[in-house]
Amino acid sequence: MAKIASSLTEVAASGIRIPAMKPIPRRVQLGVVAAAYGATLLVAAVLVYARHMQYVNHPADAMASGGMYAFGDWILGLFIGGLFLIPTFLLMLLIRNSEKAYTRYSKILLGLSLTAPICVGVFLIPAVNQGNSLLGWFCVDRLLASPIVIVGLAVSRLLARFGRAKRLTSYALLIEVGTPALLLMLLLLSGGTRHG
């Protein structure tokens, strides 16, 4: 370490100018984030297709151990959600110093978090929860993805630097954490009325 410091001192004393590094243009940074989202989407599509082919090639296994397959699907969903956190983290670092951009991002997060209680409400409709509708599957998948969304919201809140963005991400995090608590309370109440 001392050798490096003395070498730098000699370079500075000799008058040799080390050119300053140019910052990477914002457009290139946004391109990298977009490419990361694209790559993540491609990997997710390949993983979902491979899982689908597993169901197609081994239907008897899927029927015999449906619970294990369902758990595997949930783990795959969490893994894919975790993959999407990587480019989202890059996006957060990129827009962190811009109040306007981070506030817009926080508004999007608030909208995303509002889908969780909406899904709980929609799932309470008997036609949705007793059928095989696409809406019912979406609602279940959205609620099962809540742990990944909570991680993303928590990191977003930690990186927020501006007052409005902090408030919006805090509200989003509160809604997202409160939804499973609301769902648990509804389940306990419905179980209590049946046994009562």
- Express each pLDDT in 165-193 by its tens digit: 999 999 999 999 999 888 888 788 877 66
Question: How many of the other CB atoms lie within 10 Å of CB of 76?
Answer: 15
pLDDT digits (tens, 9 = 90+) for 48-71: 999 989 888 888 877 777 778 888
In a 13 Å sphere around the CA of 180, the CA atoms on its Cβ side amount to 12
Specify burial of residue 181 (Cβ count, 10 A radius: 0-12, 13-18, 19+).
Answer: exposed
Mean pLDDT, rounded, for 31-45:
95
pLDDT digits (tens, 9 = 90+) for 81-102: 999 999 999 999 999 999 999 9
Quote the CA–CA distance of 166 and 156 in Å, as a whole number: 9
Hey, what amino acid is at 57?
N
Supply the pTM of this predicted model.
0.76
Quote the CA–CA distance of 173 and 150 in Å, as a whole number: 7
195: pLDDT strictly greater than 60: no
pLDDT digits (tens, 9 = 90+) for 103-154: 999 999 999 999 999 998 888 888 877 777 888 888 888 888 899 999 999 9
Domain-by-domain residue ranges, the chain?
25-95, 99-196
Q: Which stretches of the chain are DSSP H helices? A: 2-14, 26-57, 59-64, 66-95, 99-123, 126-129, 134-144, 146-159, 163-195
